[in-house]
Structure 1
Amino acid sequence: MKNLYLVFFLIFIGYSGYSQYQIDFDSFTTGDVSSQSTYLELWPDPTASPTDPQVTTAYSFSTPHSMNVRELSGGIEDDILFNLGNKDSGIWVVKWMMYVPTGKVGYWNIQENASINPIVQHNNEIFVGSTASGGTANVITYTESSTTSTYTVSYPSDSWFEVITTIDFSTTEISIEIDGNSLITNHTYPGLQLGAIDFYSVDLNTSFFIDDFKLYEGCYIPGNLTLDNTTDVSADFSWNVVSTETGGYNYLVMQPGDDPNMDTPIDSGTTLAGASTLQITGLSPLTSYDFYLQSNCDNAEISDWTNMINFTTSASCSTPTVTTYPYLENFENDSQSLGCWSQVNEIGSADWTYSEGSTSGSINSAVSGVQNIVFVSQSSVGDPITKYISPVFDLSSLTNPILKFYFAQEDYFGDYNTLKVYYRISDQDSWVELEHYDQSEDIWTQVELPLPNPTSTYQIAFEGINNFGRPNVIDDVEIDEKLSTYSSTIEGFSYYPNPTKNTVNFIANTNIQELKVFDVLGKEVYNVTPHQTDFEMNLSNLNSGVYFIKATINNQTKSFKIIKE
């Protein structure tokens, strides 16, 4: 078996060229260890008389050999440096297997400088058991040079256990793991370099064994993780490839707020090696998720998880072209056309979002249901500006189409946002302004606009313009035919209750000629001709939701919404 595995080796002055290596002692000969590897050196202090630890067959993790640091007696003072090349950037991992017989103790420290005089500084000391110089029985004790604080963790006697030290120079932090348990995690590293590991006979009771010593570059967290796109059922991510990644990248899709190290993910997997993009599929519309990524590297190393990216999928689009009327967009999650709306950022990058009422001010509820759209309130004027664009309307069946909607834009100490309404006859044509609302509206206000030049490829757009005011809010967008007999009110006509669980009562001064009920897609779901002045309509067979009712009385037609609970 090879005693030295060198992944990369470059010759520089001193030890600065050390990259990654492994020593398992198996092809060494028994006896003094230091002369059998260029990475090993006896303690170089001229005032000391260090002796050489021994290559032995007494114990070994990978057979047949290990290194024994012996007890301090009879002229023996074992003191050996494993040179690490004065690392001062990146993430570096030092790992070895260790065996401590019952009743014996051990010691090592981390040297600042591997090249000339290591005695100048050691960065923290680690005692195994209770030694003459420090430590506590039956535990490994870490003594922090900068604060003199101590930390302990148990270890198994008469058994091999793993020691892993990780130093991240980007954060100047050190972590040490003993037998799978944390001794310290992300403590401040007091040095500027990683020079050497010094194994030393600390007292007369010293005896411990080292095997499978490794130095290698750590596993880096993927950089610049970015959410590139979302749909109703997918999300696309990209990141910078990590130089030490060899086994792809692990990913987790979590419920918002769940712990990636403890909780069960919704979805997980591993990309191909060298990947820099990933598409997550099979997601649910209008649902929030947390996403995490980590690198797989050599030596079975994995990086920490990236910072979480939270994202929400868009609504689904079941009706990309609307053909039946009346049409209602109430911006509720069950709307069949909610995902068919799109956005264009004219200035800035702010989007229209969903909310119940406004995000500030006195409007704290939607017109109907629990959701409407809302544009920003920011400390700027004329920036950002974003269009919220409808699905395509085939208006070829309508003679006099009308647009109705509710909006508000509360002032903020005299400043208020602006709303513009546009139409276009196709996506190849320019937008034409229909109306411009440049005043404060402190309550939900319904407006009605005729839609000129109807086509089969018609679209409308609401443009929010931030002007330091409170947010623009819009709800209950309706498109329908405007009948010549249409009246916003019919004298003596009323209906109740609304919302209703099952029935709606209608009362009029003259006979009610016809009642029609439409769902939000414009499909007629109920039609009756009462020919009486009061009538009770039973809607128990309809699903909960929003419906349109058209009532015709005395040759006049009134349209209104009801909510079936």
Structure 2
Amino acid sequence: MYSSYKWIICCCSCPLSVETLCAAFVPDYLETFDSFIPNCWEEASDGDLTTGPTSFGSGDWGSEEFAHASTSGGGAVNVNLFNVGTSDWVLSPLFDLSAGGYEVNLDVALTSYNSTAADVMGSDDEVVLAYTLDGTTWTAIQTWTAANQPATAGETFNADISTITGSTVQFGIYASEGTVDDAEDYDFHIDNFQVRTIPSCLDSNNLQLVSVTQTTADITWDSNNAGTAGNFEYLLDTANSYPTGPDAMVAPTGTLTGVSGAMLPIAQAGQITGLMPSTDYDVYIREVCTGTDTSPWSAAFAFTTACAPITDFNEDFDSVSTPDLPSCWSFFATDIATGTDPYVRTSTSADNSAPNGVQLYSGSANGTTIPADVLLISPVLSNLSAGTHRVRFFADITVATSTVEVGTMTDPNDPMTFTALGTFSPTTTHTEYIQNFDTYAGTDTYIAFKHVFASTFDNLYLEQYSLGNDPSMSSTFRYHIIICYRYYGNYWLDE
């Protein structure tokens, strides 16, 4: 015996909004995560592959540029794994895969927390791409650990799922920090999630930058087509427009000739020419399997060409948003094993003239038992050995044991190439210091400012004002720097 009920909802003065459940998608399907959470997706937390997620509606996944690269081609999603016990999910819509013959692919990357720098996964951390047919039992398609973590700049993962033929298949990306409280603090990124019919000409993937100059970029990638003839096209983009879908009609920028082979994947290499200095590019690769059959465009790979040497500049760091440095300025800061890492960044707390300056922070390094290199590095210069330059700066300090070194560098990525030309010990009185380069005859092309700290949590504040004519040096150039150094324990005081 059963009863039948009719529900009648009356509202005389208010509009009603009703959202129905999403129907299962029939591929092809692409999600680019330009917004988060996308329609029909869901966040969840807790649980594991045995139980599935146990809490729904929130989690630690969030919107972010892919691999923290501003030229990544649009929004993406990442999760930070640092706090022990973190267990979070991002769940796809349902898919009807009854027809079979599909594959799933997505872009993945791993970077240090809120940085483009490399990092490593913790000893028992894992990120898993999995699927479920019933919402309870989850099966892993791919598991990433410290042994096979994604590339820092990103790579594309493909999996043949043609044997999965359910009508209500759901995918999930599960991230776990495990039970071991490792020191690693990193972000795992995903983007461009696709479920699609397996194309006859498969995508190229694993794009990597080998080297870059002002006008060229040497890249490598993998072909996934057995018997490839080595014919490829590339697309260059500076507008972050992603050529989506297997049939995206985007004209290529040029061609690249690779190698043939049968053992998959087939490593390829090529050089892109005709680039502009100091320019952000996205590059995409596709293979031409036959005259009319081309692969889908690969995921975007972002790179920046080298800066052209300059003879003068005017930089007060006010044109950028904190914590970024201006184009062609760089830094080096050593990661330490435990505690807070040193860093170099622009900050509104570091300015001598509002709004921005540069902060060089020692973190938990103390300069003796925990050493670290912390340097701010100028753009590449073409006339450093002309004997016509000087650095002029102001500094003050409340702890007299820390110093400021001014010198030159050969390689901004290698602190061992730093050569100090002058060491300054600021006092509590704001004092001007000058470092002359009139006798410098070396071949270095960078000026660097090194924070030589004698205790933890030291802050060195710098601000670059101008490079201009210096009448005292035969109407040539000088580098005019103001450095403000103060240490107040955990407090920052604006200049």
TM-score where L is the length of structure 2: 0.38
Rg comparison, structure with higher value? 1
TM-score where L is the length of structure 1: 0.35
Q: Which has the higher contact order (CA 8 A, sep 6+)?
A: 2
